[in-house]
Structure 1
Amino acid sequence: MTTLSVLIPVYNAAPYLAEMLDSVLQQSTPADQIVIVNDGSTDQSLELLTTYQRREERIVLIDQPNGGVSQARNRALASCEGEFVALMDSDDVCIPQRFETQLNVLRNQPADICGTWLQNFGATDRLNKYPTRDDQIKWNYFFFGRTIPNPSAMFRRTSIGDRRYIDGLAFGEDYAFFLSCLISNPEIRLTNIPKPLLRYRIHPTQATRRLKGQNISNLRAIQERLLPCAAGMSLQELLPLHFKTWKSQQALSVDELDLYLPLMAFWSHWLSQQAQAPCPAADHWLTLLRRHRAAGREALNLIYGHAQPYLPRWKIAMDQVLARFH
């Protein structure tokens, strides 16, 4: 039985492949299968991959015309036979205990998708920390916090169902994939291990740097396509307000709040009930209240009206008292 498959899309990554593959092959708990899709590389990537495949029988090498990273990941996922699937980017490096540590979490804790912290290297040297709690991660998928870092993710194959990466997305395809897993299976259990088990390479040619300008437009398109909403609500109309107050951290006008708050209330109920993640609700509503302290009593009353199911009475009373001094 194949326990762990590793999924690796490759496009013009020849300078980094040997270090990446050696880190995968030298894990303390070895993978059973390593599925690599060469996505029409025009450098020496295919030759290097072929050399590794000849001496390592666990490697399944698929060569295809360039179709983009989502198509490459989906092609690889279709060939993964493991009960668990680890994601890996072609320019990163695994810490030797990465697979062992993540498999231990997925087998022994209530978790279906498990990421890790990242240690940047190359152009920058920084530790990237990510939340560990399931409920906080789920709220962050809606409200622009840190979620599951795709290059470090490992998941239980059965937990994702028939979810696949959205073809044609040049940026944010990883966010879309995990968000779609959450929306289709709200009770899915998410976590990040608070250790840097992946070294994340920073260099000028990586997609996250080249395509950074597409971030906002792609995020909005993804949320419009995937996020739930009540009948009669228009995400096309309401998402600009969501981005304004949560991404840009700006206050909304009274008229804008009147439009937006039913959507936030709907998401709060969905996350609290469907996704079984009620705890972060109070913090999010309090953040919205504090962001609008200078907006006037009418705006605050609108927010209080929607926030009350999620705030303890003492928090509402204290916030109302504090608001009098602003």
Structure 2
Amino acid sequence: MSADPTLQVSVLLPVYNAGRYLPEALESILAQENICFECVAVDDGSTDDTADILNDFARRDARLRVLSRPNTGIVGALNDGLALCRAPYIARMDADDIARPARLARQAAYLDTHADCVGVGSWVDYLDPEGEHIWTWKMSANPAQIEHDLLEGGIGGLVHPAMMLRADAIRAVGGYQAECKDIEDYDLFLRLLEQGHFSVLPEPLLGYRQHPASINATSNRGARTAIANRLMAEARQQRGLPEKVLTPTPATPESSQLEWIDLALLDGNWRSARKTTCRLFRSVPLKTAPWQALGKLIQAALGKLRIRAGRIRQFVSIF
């Protein structure tokens, strides 16, 4: 697809059976301020009302271009969409997330003024399935720290749907790789390190929705970790770094929700922690997860009481 000099950003949006959240995601993209952009949505063979929603939005807004085709999985959808993108910058977006109004303009302005930066992310607000705030991930903006974390097997704070990347750099490294399904972002970031560095804008520009059916909660972490170990080994070997091996941690929808509770409590978000605990008691009352969640709440509450008691003793000791 030939470039369009009037466009600053192409939003790359793969979609599969996302009817529940898709309208909110599209509205957030189409409401972007002070930026000339297109949104390339790839319907990956959805069987719900995704196609109808996309076509309805496209009829009302010419900035949305829709490609519908049989299901291939996320990597095929990303590469097919990438082939249609016409702008110099590619902003990733997922169909269940929410972009803040200034997201595209802020990230494009940063890339405009930092020629050695191959991609820029942002802080993200974790949202629960209903769109309520869990916590804000305030990751490092230091390029050296991001690279270090990537080479240690972490994602470096680069949340894929919050990223804006240079289109020519993605194409120069061959796009997304089918053999890295479910970890295609980590693979791409490691290869893009050969093209430049990454940074992160220190403001939350994306609402990053978490739900029990997400890939992070349901995919085979053992298989993902095996691929990550191979990719990390190759990248470390190229840089003369010693071998390092990651150990997979088991994941279930319940364990993911326990992680949300930890994050919410870290942010002092008691409402979210209580809400997720209640969700666990409703969905899996006979499993250990809801009782673990209740234990986390009690432990955190006791911690707050100890802090308050300490402050009272301090105050009284003054007199």
Q: Give the TM-score taking structure 1 as reference length.
A: 0.67
For 1:173, give the aligned amino acid. Answer: E
**1:196 alignment partner, SS class:** strand
Partner of 1:229, secondary structure, is helix
Report the Cα distance in structure 2 between the residues aligned to 1:162 and 1:242, rounded to whole angstroms.
Answer: 25
Partner in structure 1 of residue 158 of structure 2: 148
**Residue 194 of structure 1 corresponds to which residue in structure 2?**
202
3-state SS in 1 of match to 2:161 = helix
Identify the residue that residue 134 of structure 1 maps to in structure 2: 143
Q: How big is the shift at 1:223?
A: 2.7
- 1:129-180 residue CA offsets vs partner (Å, 9 max, x unmatched): 2210111111111113433211100012233324311114332111111111
Aligned residue for 1:117, secondary structure, equals strand
Q: For residues 177 and 221 of structure 2, what CA distance do their matches in structure 1 show?
A: 19
Tell me the distance in 2 between the aligned counterparts of 1:72 and 1:80: 12
Q: Please state whether the residue corresponding to 2:87 is helix, strand or coil.
A: coil
Partner secondary structure for residue 20 of structure 2:
helix
Pick from 210, 213, 235: which aligns with 2:218? 210
CA contact (8 A) 2:89 2:165 kept: yes
- In structure 1, the partner of 2:58 is 53
- Any gaps of 5 or more consecutive residues in structure 2? 250-319
Tell me how far apart the structure 1 counterparts of residues 161 and 215 of structure 2 sit (CA, whole Å). 13
Separation in 2 of the partners of 1:198 and 1:78? 24
Letter in structure 2 aligned against 1:157: A
- Asked if the contact 2:151–2:236 (Cα under 8 Å) also holds between the matched residues in 1, the reply is no
Identify the residue that residue 175 of structure 2 maps to in structure 1. 164
* 1:117 paired to 2:123: yes
2:231 and 2:50 map into 1 onto residues whose CA distance is 31
Q: CA deviation at 1:45?
A: 0.5
From 243, 248, 270, give the equivalent of 2:246: 243
Deviation per CA, 1:33-59, whole angstroms, max 9, x where unpaired?
Answer: 111111111111011111111111111
Contact 2:99 2:206 in 1 (8 A): yes
Unaligned runs of 5+ residues in structure 1 are 249-326
Do 1:4 and 1:31's aligned partners in 2 also have CA atoms closer than 8 Å?
yes
Alignment CA distance shift 1:114-1:230 (3 Å): closer
SS at structure 2 position matched to 1:242? coil
Distance in 1 between residues matched to 2:32 and 2:162, nearest whole Å: 14
Q: CA deviation at 1:230?
A: 6.3
How much does 1:128 deviate?
Answer: 1.1
Distance in 2 of aligned mates of 1:41 and 1:84? 27
CA RMSD of aligned residues (A): 2.4
2:24–2:98: 8 Å Cα contact kept in structure 1?
yes
1:176 alignment partner, one of 164, 176, 187:
187
Alignment of 1:69-80 (within 5 A): 69-80=74-85
Percent identity between the two aligned chains: 29
- For 1:136 and 1:200, how far apart are their aligned partners in 2? 22
Match of 1:63 among 59, 62, 68: 68
> Partners in 2 of 1:120 and 1:230 — Cα distance?
35
Alignment of 1:79-90 (within 5 A): 79-90=84-95
DSSP 3-state at the match of 1:126: strand
Q: CA deviation at 1:212?
A: 5.5
Q: Letter of the 2:211 partner, please give it.
A: H
Secondary structure at 2:91's aligned position in 1? strand
Aligned length: 237
